[in-house]
Amino acid sequence: MGSAVARVGRAYVKQRVGSVSIAVAARSWTQRFAFVLLILLSFGIMLVGKADTVVVSRARTLLIDLIAPVMDAASRPIASAKEAASTVQELVALKQENARLAEENKTLLEWQSIGRELQSQNAALRDILKFTPDPRASYVTAPVIADTSSSYVRSLIVLAGQNDGVVKGQAAITGAGLVGRVLEVGRRASRVLLLTDISARVPVVIERTRDQAVLAGNNSDNPELQYLPRDVDIKVGDRIVTSGVGGNFPVGLPVGEVARLADGHILVQLYAQLDRMEYLRLVDYSLPGILMQDLGIDTSKAAGVTSPGLGKLPRAQ
């Protein structure tokens, strides 16, 4: 009986060894020719697709239908996680924005209180001084159609004239500041004399020190400040605005800032970029002007008019 059991055991061992040997051989063969099999399988799929595209299309559609629910189920947690992360980020951003807005609101409330106080003080001072408000300005916006500047003159031509309500002497400004004034007016176009022209003179004031001066053009990009007091404390960067003296321009129109101090000359950089202007606003401030105010002469007819004791007045520039 013992020998029979031994024979059975040996037979079982031989069978297992044979099975393992076959499995090892099959695995080795598969690994050796796997790449070739994959290529053959790819060609086979391509041939099947070419042979009967309807069958392949149906199979692909069926496969997509089978996989779609699985992909949808797998993507839902990811989408939920993304949505949750996005919500958290939005909440953090909203919290920061709320804090910023609260700080801005606090600042605005402080300025509102200061503004109301200044408004009441301004009203009281106007009442004491019997202040008359400046007349409301009217304006015409016109495109610049030509630059007539040369070595001897600095001017522009704008497409607006008498038909549009333009009058000689009106201020020409941009959003940055004063550019010049209307010198000649036609029916459809006008010529604007720039602040950089050698004949341009504008009464101005240094905003920081309140010292008055005259901005004189010199046919360069930087006009010069003249007639300043000897002890003036002027610095580079000081803001220059119109003073209103003479009645041609109102008080406070921005002009430019001190660019440099060189050899006793104080040069100003204009706020308006004269070489990049496309539109100009021609403003009528309804101001009398120096000729109308002091001599009783209509400024629109000032050129060539004579006055007793004064002789012939020079042509208005």
Q: What is the pLDDT of residues 200-250, one digit of tens each?
A: 999 999 999 999 999 999 999 999 999 988 888 889 999 999 998 888 888
Residues 16 and 157 in one domain: no
pLDDT in tens, 117-171: 888 888 777 766 665 555 567 889 999 988 878 778 899 999 999 899 898 889 9
In a domain, 313, yes or no: no
Residues 32 and 169 in one domain: no
Residues 152 and 291 in one domain: yes
Question: Any residues with CB less than 8 A from the CB of 48 and at least 6 apart, and which?
Answer: 55, 56
Domain total for the chain? Answer: 2
In a domain, 90, yes or no: no
In a domain, 84, yes or no: no
Q: CATH number of the domain that 197 lies in?
A: 2.40.10.340
In a domain, 175, yes or no: yes
Q: What is the average pLDDT value for the chain, to the nearest integer? A: 77
Given this model, what pLDDT does residue 12 score?
A: 56
Range of the domain at 238: 138-297
pLDDT exceeding 70 applies to what percent of the chain?
70
Residues 160 and 288 in one domain: yes
In a domain, 79, yes or no: no
Residues 35 and 153 in one domain: no
Residues 43 and 143 in one domain: no
Residue with the bigger pLDDT between 85 and 161: it is 161
Q: pLDDT confidence of 16, banded at 50, 70, 90? A: low
Residues 186 and 292 in one domain: yes
Q: 233 vs 21, 142, 225, 253, 258, CA distance in Å? A: 106, 39, 13, 22, 12
pLDDT in tens, 282-304: 988 877 664 444 434 444 443 33
* C-alpha span between 164 and 166 (Å, rounded): 6
pLDDT in tens, 179-203: 999 988 988 899 999 999 999 999 9
Residues 155 and 259 in one domain: yes
Residues 142 and 23 in one domain: no
SS3 state at 240: strand
SS3 state at 282: strand
In a domain, 204, yes or no: yes
206 and 234 Cβ atoms separated by less than 8 Å: yes
pTM value is: 0.52
Residues 157 and 289 in one domain: yes
Q: pLDDT confidence of 83, banded at 50, 70, 90? A: confident
Q: pLDDT confidence of 95, banded at 50, 70, 90? A: confident
* C-alpha span between 171 and 272 (Å, rounded): 13
With vertex at residue 177, the alpha carbon angle to CA 292 and CA 265, rounded to the nearest 5 degrees, is 85
Q: How many Cβ atoms are within 10 Å of 16's Cβ, its own excluded?
A: 10
Residues 176 and 285 in one domain: yes
In a domain, 77, yes or no: no
**DSSP E strand boundaries for the chain:** 138-147, 155-158, 171-173, 178-185, 190-194, 201-206, 212-216, 224-226, 239-242, 254-262, 265-270, 279-284, 306-307, 311-312
Residues 151 and 42 in one domain: no
In a domain, 284, yes or no: yes
